[in-house]
């Protein structure tokens, strides 16, 4: 079988070359590109995210990535959001006293964690649900987080024709959403590409799920 093609969308989110290398280590062909055509046609699309919620949203919309994400999800085609690339999938995010509109794929607000030390930076465990495909074989491992904001609640039980979402949690001061598996849209608050062998295994689990779509 030929290797799956994954696009890491380059919309100006900073250094994301580590994501390309991790996807290749996971057994797929990976390409960093700002081509909307390539992003639409790839077997899998990764939406990275580094920086502030509002800046990432602005860059996504300016590059047309929001439309690409919508079209892929409407066609049941896999998308993986990472860090702020996960956060923007929610309805909105807060920055200081202002609310920024997100992509609205999921209900909910991303806001600042209440914790003794921020940012939450370093390795942490997760609480993955039974039957998680994303965390198959790595549910007891630690993953690398760098963030001060997160979604602290989850209210979506099902989404159209898809099975009920599987939500993984972690705790740093507050309990927050660490990952979601929702039909073709999966996402992680942590950085699998910076999480060593467990992160590569997790990305491999994501690539293996393409056969479902």
- Active site members: 83, 191, 193
The answer to whether residues 191 and 63 touch, using CB atoms and an 8 Å cutoff, is no
For residue 201, give both structure tokens: 């295994």
Computed from CA positions of residues 122, 60, 163, 94, in that sequence, does the dihedral angle turn out positive or negative? positive
Q: Where are the alpha helices (DSSP H) in 26-77?
A: 36-41, 53-63, 65-74
- Residue with token string 């939406």: 47
Which tokens sit at 128?
A: 């993955």
Contact criterion met (CB below 8 Å) for 103 and 88: yes
């Amino acid at each position: 079988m030929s290797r799956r093609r994954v696009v890491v969308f380059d919309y100006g989110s900073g250094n994301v070359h580590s994501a390309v290398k991790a996807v290749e280590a996971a057994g797929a062909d990976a390409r960093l590109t700002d081509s909307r055509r390539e992003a639409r046609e790839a077997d899998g699309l990764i939406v990275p995210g580094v920086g502030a919620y509002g800046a990432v949203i602005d860059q996504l919309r300016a590059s047309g990535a929001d439309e690409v994400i919508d079209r892929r999800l409407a066609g049941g085609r896999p998308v993986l959001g990472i860090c702020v690339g996960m956060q923007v999938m929610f309805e909105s995010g807060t920055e200081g006293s202002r609310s920024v509109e997100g992509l609205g794929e999921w209900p909910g607000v991303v806001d600042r964690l209440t914790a003794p030390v921020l940012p939450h930076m370093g390795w942490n465990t997760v609480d993955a649900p039974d039957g998680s495909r994303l965390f198959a074989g790595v549910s007891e491992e630690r993953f690398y987080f760098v963030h001060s904001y997160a979604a602290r609640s989850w209210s979506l039980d099902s989404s159209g024709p898809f099975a009920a979402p599987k939500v993984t949690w972690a705790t740093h001061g507050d309990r927050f959403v660490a990952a979601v598996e929702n039909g073709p849209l999966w996402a992680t608050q942590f950085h699998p590409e910076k999480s060593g062998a467990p992160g590569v295994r997790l990305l491999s689990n994501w690539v293996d799920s393409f056969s479902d779509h």
